[in-house]
């Protein structure tokens, strides 16, 4: 079991624009190829973790409150944890739960929900992934870089990670995208 931050980003390191939108990603020619490849990654995932902005964007884009089946059609019954300091509406009949604690306090509950024993996927955002890294709870980072530059937006990471703590294990092309996988070294 590994905890993986897997996200798409622009070439200048943004995972969303200033309004938390990912539309720039879907506008990339060949994005359907990368999306099809994503099914291979998702097959290894047992638990999903995300921040509140990512969750709110998904609720809006998928109209989850009116169509909760959209969630399970994509992500199945995987336990899903949304880190938020506020109450958010949850779609009925989904495995989505809110968690209002810091990463170290939440890890026991997240890991206990991983009954299938697969990987934990940190969907977004960059601040949440940074918190997992700082808590010593991040094993791998996979960035799928799109051939796009944004003038501003939400960064991939919000803290410092020294190069001695990262090891490049794989680089591959997926359509117009470049996927970079890094192992996080501990200690």
Report the percentage of the chain scoring pLDDT > 90: 82
CA angle 178-39-76, nearest 5°?
A: 140
C-alpha 169/C-alpha 2 separation (Å) is 15
Residue 180 is predicted with a pLDDT of: 96
Residue 60 is predicted with a pLDDT of: 93
Average pLDDT, the chain: 93
For residues 40-63, give the mean pLDDT. 94
Which of helix, strand or coil describes residue 83? Answer: strand
Q: Is the pLDDT of residue 38 over 90?
A: no
* Residue 125 preceded by cis peptide, ω within 30: yes
52: CATH: 3.40.430.10
Q: Is the pLDDT of residue 33 over 80?
A: no
pLDDT in tens, 116-130: 999 999 998 899 999
pLDDT in tens, 84-100: 999 999 999 999 999 99
Q: Is the pLDDT of residue 171 over 90?
A: yes
Q: Is the pLDDT of residue 35 over 80?
A: no
Q: Domain count of the chain?
A: 1
Residue 174 is predicted with a pLDDT of: 87
Q: Which domain holds residue 12?
A: 3-184
For residues 106-124, give the mean pLDDT. 94
Residue 121's DSSP bridge partners are: 4, 48
Q: Is the pLDDT of residue 187 over 70?
A: no
Looking from the CA of 184 toward its CB, the CA atoms found within 13 Å total 21
């Amino acid at each position: 079991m590994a905890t993986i931050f897997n996200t798409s980003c622009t070439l200048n390191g943004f995972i969303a624009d200033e309004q938390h939108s990912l539309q720039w990603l879907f506008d990339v020619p060949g994005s359907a190829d990368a999306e099809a490849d994503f099914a291979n990654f998702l097959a290894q995932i047992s638990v999903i973790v995300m921040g509140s902005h990512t969750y709110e964007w998904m609720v809006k884009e998928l109209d989850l409150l009116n169509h909760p089946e959209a969630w399970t059609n994509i992500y199945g019954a995987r336990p899903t944890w949304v880190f938020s300091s506020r109450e958010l509406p949850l779609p009925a009949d989904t495995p989505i739960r809110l968690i209002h604690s810091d990463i170290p306090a939440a890890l026991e509950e997240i890991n206990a929900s991983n009954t299938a024993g697969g990987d934990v996927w940190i969907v977004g955002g960059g601040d949440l992934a940074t918190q997992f890294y700082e808590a010593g709870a991040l094993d791998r980072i996979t960035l799928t870089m799109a051939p796009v530059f944004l003038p501003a937006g939400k960064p991939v990471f919000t803290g410092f990670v020294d190069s001695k703590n990262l090891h490049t294990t794989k680089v591959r092309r997926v359509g117009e995208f470049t996927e970079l996988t890094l192992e996080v070294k501990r200690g």
